[in-house]
Amino acid sequence: MGILKYITDMLFSIRTTLWSLWLLIALLFAGAFVMPAKEEFQTIHSMPLFDWLSEQNVAITWWLWASIAVLILLTLNTLFCSIQSVLKKRGVSNFLLVLSPQIIHIAFLFMLFAHLLSSYGGFKEMIVAGEGAAFQLNRDGVVLVIEGIEISSDPAGYMSDWSINIAYASGEKLIRKDIIRPNSPSLYEDFNINVKDLRAFPQKAALIQISREPGALWALAGGVLFMTGIITLVILRVKTSRE
Amino acid sequence: MFKLHILSLILYGAGIFKRPFLYAGLAVQSAYLLSRGLELHRLPLVGAHDTLAFIAASAAAFAIPFGINLNWNSKYQKGAALLAAAFTLFSMFSKQHNIPLPPVLKTLWFELHVVTAFLSYALFGIAAVLGTIYLIEKVEKNEALQYKAILIGYCLFSASMIFGGVWAYLAWGTYWLWTPKELWTSILWLFYSLYLHARLRPWWAGKPSAILGIVGFGVVMFTYLGVSLLMKSSHSF
């Protein structure tokens, strides 16, 4: 009973928030120096984070594991404190001032959930392809065809624009055509097809990346919620300080 | 055109002593940035030279409303002018990025990402000045204004991270990359989150949170200049 009370008290406390944030900052600080120094981190984007972590030596990933542990604590702490704050201050006159930080907290949790989803179920593959190349996209037999690569340069020789005409087909049947441009990937089902690099000589070729980020929509929702909460909070704080 | 940049430095320097020079420095530096934009046919926000000049002008601009609130406290005026002058000086010794932008940078998401980031850096700088003055004069209003500057800066910095994530997803298929810059950006965001939460605790109110706000600006500077210059990432100069 005593231990349970200690744990719940700890989860309801803003002191836990502060200690968790300090710890997280210290761990990421350490990671910011470990990461560039170790070659193993070159492959961190090649697979989902948890798959990558399971393959690496803890001697170089300890700070990531510890950060995940602190984030779990911070998630519980955020949930407990937010619920407590809303319940305690239900009747106050400026309820929006109580609610807006909690919207920010929910948005933070959305973003953490997004990272969790992507760290488990993310997918990434790179393919070098020239005009006319085709490769299978999924198990249903959908094929991605590179129909044409256009690269334009300015008079000084710098690449000014590019586009890649692609087609999705299944057997002989054309599903749809699309164009990939800078900052405009082709989205097919839950795949994001974009271009990482291009080459005009000796033959036109593109480094195509096929990726899947299951957390992308959650992250976007979190971003929208976060901005809603923080803008409301800023307006209310500025307003109340003037009154 | 570069003469405008030199003139703005001189004016900010004079602004340490007389306020109208700070206004004049801002006007001249804005004209310089405008002329850079017209010359490059884009927002002059790529590379250390232009971004430092943009932070200097933003710091001078943000200094005005806080200055009015403080009846232009002379220490604050000195600090704000010194901040703008320092950024302008560093900008003068940084290389200009005059080549056309690669296609991936020609998007509104990039512009929103960098504009909000550098506006937030300027506000964090002003917050550090306000915190320093609070430590010297012990007037509570300075600390309250420091909090306000950090809160607005935090809002803009968060917006920058969100815009950057959307842009990265569209450009590179992912909203997050494990690079030193992203890690330091997270450290910075967590640090100011810590400041905003710590200020709610009685022990942290006043002097400790003012110090935290000043240290935060050190983290800003390392995230912006240190990481960009010393560590390899998509944000390198």
Residues of A numbered 130-169 whose beta carbons fall under 8 angstroms of chain B's beta carbons: which are they? 154, 156, 158-162
pLDDT of residue B197: 95
Looking at the DSSP assignment, which residues form a beta bridge with residue A146?
A: A166
User: Which of A183, A225, A235 is best to mutate for the B interface (most B CBs within 10 A)?
Assistant: A183
Cβ-Cβ contacts under 8 Å between A and B: the total is 124
pLDDT of residue B62: 97
| Residue A243 pLDDT greater than 60, yes or no | no
- Residue A92 touches partner B, C-beta closer than 8 Å: no
Q: Does A22 sit within 8 Å of B176, measured CB to CB?
A: no
pLDDT interval class at A141 (50, 70, 90): confident
pLDDT of residue A2: 84
User: Which of B183, B196, B199 is best to mutate for the A interface (most A CBs within 10 A)?
Assistant: B183
pTM (2 d.p.): 0.94
pLDDT of residue A97: 84
pLDDT of residue B63: 97
Per residue, what are the HEC states of chain A?
A: CHHHHHHHHHHHCHHHHHHHHHHHHHHHHHHHHHHHHCHHHHHCCCCCHHHHHHHCCHHHHHHHHHHHHHHHHHHHHHHHHHHHHHHHCCCCCCHHHHHHHHHHHHHHHHHHHHHHHHHHHCEEEEEEEECCCEEECCCCCEEEEEEEEEEEECCCCCEEEEEEEEEEEECCEEEEEEEEECCECEEECCEEEEEEEEECCCCCEEEEEEEECCCHHHHHHHHHHHHHHHHHHHHHHHHHHHC
Where are the domains positioned within chain B? Answer: 1-101, 110-237
Chain B residue with the nearest C-alpha to that of A151: B103
Q: Which residue has the tokens 């994530």?
A: B165
What's chain A's average pLDDT? 91
Q: Does B198 sit within 8 Å of A234, measured CB to CB?
A: no
Higher-pLDDT residue of A53, A94: A53
Q: Does B175 sit within 8 Å of A194, measured CB to CB?
A: no
Average pLDDT over residues A61-80: 97
Chain B residue with the nearest C-alpha to that of A125: B173
pLDDT tens digits for B41-51? 899 999 999 99
| Residue A52 pLDDT greater than 90, yes or no | yes
Return per-residue pLDDT of chain B as tens, 237 residues.
889 999 999 999 999 999 999 999 999 999 999 999 999 989 999 999 999 999 999 999 999 999 999 999 999 999 999 999 999 999 999 988 888 888 999 999 999 999 999 999 999 999 999 999 999 999 999 999 999 999 999 999 999 999 999 999 999 999 999 888 899 999 999 999 999 999 999 899 899 999 999 999 999 999 998 787 776 665 555
Cα–Cα distance list, A190 to A13, A121, A133, A174 (Å): 40, 11, 22, 19
What's the burial of A159, exposed, middle or buried (CB within 10 Å: 0-12/13-18/19+)? Answer: middle
pLDDT tens digits for A149-183? 999 988 888 888 999 999 999 988 999 999 999 99
Q: How far apart (Å, rounded) are the C-alpha atoms in residues A63 and A42?
A: 17
pLDDT tens digits for B190-221? 999 999 999 999 899 899 999 999 999 999 99
Share of chain A above pLDDT 70, in %: 98
pLDDT of residue A205: 93
Higher-pLDDT residue of A239, B33: B33
